[in-house]
Amino acid sequence: MKQFILLLLINFFSIIAIASTQNTQDDEDFRYVYNEGKGCTQVYDPYEKLNRKFFAFNSVLDYLFLRPISIGYKRISNNYTRARVSSFLDNISVPLTAVNYGLQMNYDQTMKSLWRFLINATFGIGGLFDVADKIGLRVTKQTLGSTFAHYGVGPGPYLVIPFFGSTNARDSTDAIFTNSYLNPIMYAVHRDFEIIVSSIQVIDTRLGLLPFTDYIGCSSTDPYIAVRSATHQNRESVIVYPNQFKCSKPN
């Protein structure tokens, strides 16, 4: 599985390298717009032509497979069961948050994250119940992209990755690479368990996006723009940049 991901990464960045040599868009004067508390509010999309092709490809796969599976999951389960599954998935990602807080040298939040995970893993029956939240142990989810932003790395170009969806250059490896390698939990479990959890997480996430995607599918004249805007705004709204950070076009 991880060998496949490595191969996919190599292919992906090769495609981006080729696309960059063919890009003729005049973007020399581009500057991100930075608003306090909202991050970089303008999307940098120099690879739009290629991104749209990948977006169309992903949309077909979603229509044929992922959306029907997510709807089927909703039909065969009740709200209580889905809430327990979501709670378990959230808890199993907390060690990744702890690692990234450590990389950011925020050791208070690192310890808070570890306590949250341990309490939910024990008193919360493996994370099925969010006991830690009830006693005030709340943390903001962190990824390697969050850590890069902490040290002043902007979002970079908007990207649509085949099979994985919308992201940006800074966060692109989160979903397809680093989250697995940086999460200590994944070293303590069998690879089959990792694959099962990742699959369930994809379905759970897709189900959560169902109202949004159905809405833009019916009402938006350009779903690509709608998804691009929503993806960018949602991510930047939770990113914490260092003081005096200024958004600028990547070199």
Residues in Cβ contact with 98 at an 8 Å cutoff, skipping those fewer than 6 apart: 110, 113, 114, 117
Instruction: Tell me whether residue 4 is in a domain.
Output: no
Instruction: Tell me whether residue 197 is in a domain.
Output: yes
Residue 7's pLDDT band (cuts 50, 70, 90): very low
Instruction: Tell me whether residue 229 is in a domain.
Output: yes
How many CB atoms are closer than 10 A to CB 123? 12
Residue 76 near residue 121, CB atoms below 8 Å: no
| Spatial separation of the C-alpha atoms in residues 173 and 55, rounded to whole Å | 18
* DSSP structure class, residue 161: E
128: nearest Cα among 180, 92, 95: 92
Q: Which run of H or of E encompasses 159?
A: strand 158-161
pLDDT at 27 over 60: no
Domain of 148, in residue numbers = 31-236
Instruction: Tell me whether residue 21 is in a domain.
Output: no
| Spatial separation of the C-alpha atoms in residues 113 and 97, rounded to whole Å | 7
Q: How many domains does the chain have?
A: 1
- At 214, the amino acid letter reads D
Instruction: Tell me whether residue 25 is in a domain.
Output: no
Summarised one tens digit per residue, pLDDT across range 123-173 is 999 999 999 999 999 999 999 999 999 999 999 999 999 999 999 999 988
pLDDT at 236: 87
Instruction: Tell me whether residue 15 is in a domain.
Output: no
Instruction: Tell me whether residue 111 is in a domain.
Output: yes
pLDDT at 209: 93
